[in-house]
Amino acid sequence: MDSARIYETSHHRLLDLAATLDEERWRTVVPACPDWTVRQVYAHLAGLCADVVRGDVTPPATDEVTARQVADRADHDPGTVLAEWRRTAPALLDLLASRTRRRYCLPALDVWHHENDIRGALGLPARAGDADQLADFPLGGLARGWPAELPPVRVTATDTGQEWTLGEGAGLTLSGTAFELARAVTGRRSADQILAMDWAGGDPAQVAPFLPTLPAPAEDLAV
């Protein structure tokens, strides 16, 4: 995954978006992160960037760490949060470009998904660029660690032609755009939405709960 470029692209877009937000939109609740507002998602992104650059956190961050990142910036206005993120991002980009361990792809996944989380909360269209890489990272991991007791699943991205085989042998097939697959396997589609995707070859009920690599939301998400 081209982590540094993906992170930098989403970072710049989110800074541009922030410049257009009024106080009401900063207070909008983000359904993909139901305990957070738009401002708190930005606080998390700034906090994660600073933590990783300082070496306080090695990705992935725990829920306790992300809660602390938001709490530490609870009294900061958006301008202060954005200034911190601008200041620390170049060092993070250098780190993402130089580290080869898979865990250093995670900040790029985080910012890309949170960009779309925020856009969905604000009623804006998705940013689907780089979805091929964002789908390949978690699905490649699932392919390497699919539980042997589960039926196999062949996953196909209809727009990019990518394929992943989860398990061995013939079984279920799941088809969707790379964007939809990336969102589904990274905790951005509800259980009902995952079951309603384009499945063939049998009942997906047994395998669907094992696809999200992060907890699926209770409610359906539009983006």
Q: Report d(CA 150, CA 193) in Å as an integer.
A: 20
Write 200-206 long-range contacts (CB < 8 A, 24+): 200/172, 200/173, 200/175, 201/170, 201/171, 201/172, 201/173, 202/151, 202/171, 202/172, 204/153, 204/172, 204/174, 206/150, 206/151
Per-residue pLDDT of the chain (223 residues; tens, 9 = 90+): 999 999 999 999 999 999 999 999 999 999 999 889 999 999 999 999 999 999 998 899 899 999 999 999 999 999 999 999 999 999 999 999 998 888 899 999 999 999 999 999 999 999 999 999 999 999 999 999 999 999 999 999 999 999 999 999 878 999 999 999 999 999 999 999 999 999 999 999 999 999 999 999 999 999 9
* Whole-number pLDDT of residue 101: 87
* Whole-number pLDDT of residue 100: 84
* Whole-number pLDDT of residue 34: 84
List domains and CATH numbers for the chain: 3-121 (1.20.120.450), 131-210 (3.30.1050.10)
* Whole-number pLDDT of residue 175: 98
* pTM of the shown model: 0.95
